[in-house]
Structure 1
Amino acid sequence: MAVLEYILDLGPAVMLPLVILIIGLLLKQGLGKSLRAGITIGVGFVGIGLVISLLTDNLGPAAQDMADRFNLGLSVVDVGWPGASPMAWASSIGTVAIPVAILVNVVMLLFKMTRVVNVDIWNIWHMTFTGAIVSTATGSFWLGILGVVIHSVVVYKFGDWFAPVVAKYFGLEGIAIPHGSGAWTAPFAVVIDAILDKLPGIKKINFNSNKIEEKFGVVGEPVIIGAFLGLVIGLLAGYPVSEVLQLAVQMSAVMVLMPTVVKYIMEGLMPIAEAAREMLDKRFQGQNYYIGLDPALLLGNSQVVAASLLFVPLTLVIAVLIPGNKVLPFGDLATIGFFISMAVGIHKGNLFRTIISGAFIMFITIWISNMMIGVHTKLAMNVGTIDSGQVTSLDQGGSPITFILTEIFKLQNIAPLIVIGALYLFSIIFTYIQFKREKLYSEDTFGGETE
């Protein structure tokens, strides 16, 4: 177990390359190819870390200054996934969550309940966090393990259902994203997209950064859009001109650099993923297995990056509008793209639809996160992350899966449980029906278009 904890502490930039190296060798890709694939992925994750640090160090403070300037009254800071994931791993559930989640995956594969082969061990922290919160709320270790199992089953199925979106919009054939914020928010986007597609006039509205670029020329290029958004956020934060201009250039850099660094992850992953898929297809003919990988792959899409920057101020506005909310979005603002990444694919890059479904997703996420402050803070104190004060997070702290499982056992927020539970269950059933009808990504079911 100490070895496992040591590997986890290395972080995804080292952990996933090691996993890919081992998988490459098992697939007889040779030491050279396997090593190159692993290191290339590591380079990509280091690059993503640098870009996210650029956002966290510059955009994060600007967002908080914006909130302080307009006296938004949000007193509990969102610590984001960088704060929530260590809590999950440090909990009692964290010591067994990885083998449990892997066992669930194996059982589902054996009984043909999923076609996802999850190799992204790091992101099992999402399932782990659900288990840790349930265990903290109920005082039961075994209910916590049940939380890990249920979360794993649900997101592995999401991997199956949204694989067509990953393949056809993002161009990642044979890849599934069975975890992360994008996975559990995606069913909401499916329902909203179907509703919008039935509204006369509204269903024809379609714009994205590519169309803006076509219409406005150089002014519509991603590099200019990033600069404009940085300029607006800097002005709203009350920054002096020099700092406004610096933020504008920094956000412009994010628009350019994020898709670039993600390409390195894809370059390393795709040959190994394809080899794994071919091997599985030969052993189990006709199954069309998907390799479960990190949702960071989706951040290479320009529409996801554009939507991410748009949702920084929008998320703050939504946080203010929710009655009784105390959560200040902060830690996850830098990675807000994870929450709406799959929605972008479902809407085929249509930013108009992404804004609508994204606003609903962030409303639900912040609402849940606000109700989870108590148990989230208790978990943080139990593992020694904090000694006083209150914390919460949007990523997993705002997950409907975590909230529903916790409230089913505690019954402290019955009305929200009924509302959120009904909405989420309906969205999942609707998504399942669309998947079974093979309409999850057909041209005649959803509006919009690919890039």
Structure 2
Amino acid sequence: MQVIQYIVNLGASVMIPIVIFILGLLLRQGIGKSLRAGISIGIGFVGINLVISLLTNNLGKAAEAMAKNFNLGLNVIDIGWPGTSPMAWGSNMGLIAIPVAIGVNVLMLVTRQTKVVNVDIWNIWHMAFTGAIVQIATGSFAWGIAGICIHAAIAYKLGDIFKPVTNGYFGLDGISIPHGTSAYMGIFAKPIDDLIEHIPGLNKITLTSETVEKKFGVLGQPSIIGAFLGFVIGLLARFSVGKSLQLAIQMAAVMVLMPVVVKYIMEGLIPISKGAKDIMDKRFKGGNFTIGMDPALLLGDSNVIAAGLLFVPITLLIAMIMPGNKILPFGDLATIGFFIAIATGVHHGNVFRTLISGSVIMTITLWISNQMWTLQDKLGRATSVLAAGKRVSSLDQAGSPITYLLTKGFTLQMEIGFFVILIIFVSAFIYTYVSYKRGQLYKDSESVEVNK
């Protein structure tokens, strides 16, 4: 366990390359190829972390200023996933979540309940968080383990369901995204997309970086879109013109640099994905297995980044008008792209539709985090991550329907809100799953997948 803890403490940029190197050897890719793959992926994650830091350090300050300017008076601070993941790893469920989640993955692979071969060990913290919150709520270690298992099983299944999207729209052939908010909140996109298709007028509106570039030429390029959105956010934050211009250039850099660093990860994954596919297909013919990876890969898409920037003021507006809301969105504001990435793909990059489904996603996320913040508060104190006198929550994970439903279900605290979220989430999940099985989740001229 101490060895695992040591590797976990090194962070995703070291942990995942180690896992990839070992996996490459197991897949008979040789020391050279495996080492190169691991280092390439490590470089990619370092790059992603740098770009995300650019977002959080600069866009985060603008978001904080906007919250103060709006005088929201909210007293529970969203500390985001950077502040939440240490709570998960530091809990009783932290390290044990890794072998448990891997065990669930292996069992589902053997019984052919999933095609996802998950190598993204770092993001098992999401499952650990669910287990830790369930344990705190129930006082039962066993229920905590059950929470990890159920969350893991749902995550791997979501990786299968959204394969047509990660392949067809994002072009991540052989890669699946089973982790994080992108997957479990992405299920709301398909029913909303189909609803929009039946509304005259709305179904004709298409807004993507490509259509904007076609209409406005050089002014519609991703870098200029990022600069424009950054400048507007700076003005909304009441920054000076100079500071707003600095934020504009920083957001333009994010739009350009994120796809570049994602390419390094993809280059490293190619031999691993091919090796896994060859071996698994020999043992399980027609398996079409995929490598489960971090949703950060989806942030290489310009439409995801653009929608994420737009949701900074939108999420603050939702927080301001939501009755009874105590959560001040902050820590996760700069990385809302994670929340709406899969939805963007389901909508074929149509930012207009993403704004609609994303508003639903952020509303549900905020509402749930209001119900869960006291438990996260207890977890923070139990793990000594949270200082005395702080009142915190997070949109990522504390706003998770999976964590909420399992916690309330296991404790039998089934009030009206529980059944509302249960009906909405399960209905959206079933609708999305049926669409996936019928080959209707994502369709274009190049990618139509029928699942039998």
Q: TM-score range by the shorter chain?
A: over 0.9
Q: Distance in 1 between matches of 2:233 and 2:303?
A: 19
Q: Distance in 2 between matches of 1:313 and 1:257?
A: 23
Could you say what secondary structure the match of 2:188 adopts?
Answer: helix
Aligned to 2:112: 112
Q: Distance in 2 between matches of 1:248 and 1:217?
A: 19
Aligned to 1:219: 219
After superposition, give the CA deviation of every residue in 1:121-141 in whole Å (9 maximum; x if it has no partner): 111111111101111111111
Alignment of 1:110-189 (within 5 A): 110-189=110-189
Aligned to 2:374: 374
TM-score of the superposed pair, with normalisation by structure 2: 0.96
Letter in 2 for 1:115: K
Alignment of 1:16-165 (within 5 A): 16-165=16-165
Aligned to 1:419: 420
Letter in 1 for 2:145: I
Q: Distance in 1 between matches of 2:425 and 2:70?
A: 33
Letter in 1 for 2:317: V
Alignment of 1:252-267 (within 5 A): 252-267=252-267
Could you say what secondary structure the match of 2:291 adopts?
Answer: strand
Letter in 2 for 1:116: V
Structure 1 residue 97: deviation in Å?
0.6
Q: Distance in 2 between matches of 1:243 and 1:125?
A: 36
Q: Distance in 2 between matches of 1:346 and 1:93?
A: 33
Aligned to 1:409: 410
Q: Distance in 1 between matches of 2:189 and 2:91?
A: 32
Q: Distance in 1 between matches of 2:441 and 2:227?
A: 35
Structure 1 residue 95: deviation in Å?
2.6
Q: Distance in 1 between matches of 2:84 and 2:177?
A: 20
Unaligned runs of 5+ in 2: 448-452
Letter in 2 for 1:281: D
Structure 1 residue 172: deviation in Å?
1.1
Q: Distance in 1 between matches of 2:286 and 2:221?
A: 43
Structure 1 residue 185: deviation in Å?
0.5
Alignment of 1:307-318 (within 5 A): 307-318=307-318
Q: Distance in 1 between matches of 2:138 and 2:206?
A: 46
Query: Would you say 1:194 and 2:194 are equivalent positions?
Result: yes
Structure 1 residue 24: deviation in Å?
1.0
Q: Distance in 2 between matches of 1:392 and 1:93?
A: 19
Letter in 2 for 1:352: F
Between the aligned residues of both structures, percent identity stands at 60
Q: Distance in 2 between matches of 1:335 and 1:235?
A: 20
Unaligned runs of 5+ in 1: 447-451
Q: Distance in 2 between matches of 1:105 and 1:435?
A: 21
Aligned length: 445
Q: Distance in 2 between matches of 1:122 and 1:42?
A: 13
Could you say what secondary structure the match of 1:117 adopts?
Answer: strand
Structure 1 residue 248: deviation in Å?
1.1
Deviation larger for 401-410 or 198-207: 198-207
Structure 1 residue 442: deviation in Å?
2.6
Letter in 1 for 2:424: L
Change (3 A) 1:251 1:276: same
After superposition, give the CA deviation of every residue in 1:395-446 in whole Å (9 maximum; x if it has no partner): 11100000111111234461111111100010111112112212222349x9
TM-score of the superposed pair, with normalisation by structure 1: 0.96
Structure 1 residue 221: deviation in Å?
1.1
Q: Distance in 1 between matches of 2:270 and 2:391?
A: 42
Is the contact between residue 28 and residue 275 of structure 2 (CA under 8 Å) also seen in structure 1?
A: no
Letter in 2 for 1:396: Q
Aligned alpha-carbon RMSD (Å): 1.3
Letter in 2 for 1:322: M
Q: Distance in 2 between matches of 1:226 and 1:342?
A: 20
Aligned to 1:432: 433
Aligned to 1:319: 319
After superposition, give the CA deviation of every residue in 1:291-322 in whole Å (9 maximum; x if it has no partner): 11111111111111111111111111111121
After superposition, give the CA deviation of every residue in 1:217-240 in whole Å (9 maximum; x if it has no partner): 121111111111111111111112
Aligned to 2:288: 288
Could you say what secondary structure the match of 1:291 adopts?
Answer: strand
Runs (4+) of structure 1 exceeding 4 A deviation are none
Aligned to 1:449: none
Structure 1 residue 356: deviation in Å?
0.3
Deviation larger for 9-18 or 406-415: 406-415
Q: Distance in 1 between matches of 2:211 and 2:434?
A: 32
Could you say what secondary structure the match of 2:162 adopts?
Answer: helix
Aligned to 2:450: none
Query: Would you say 1:396 and 2:397 are equivalent positions?
Result: yes
Letter in 1 for 2:382: N
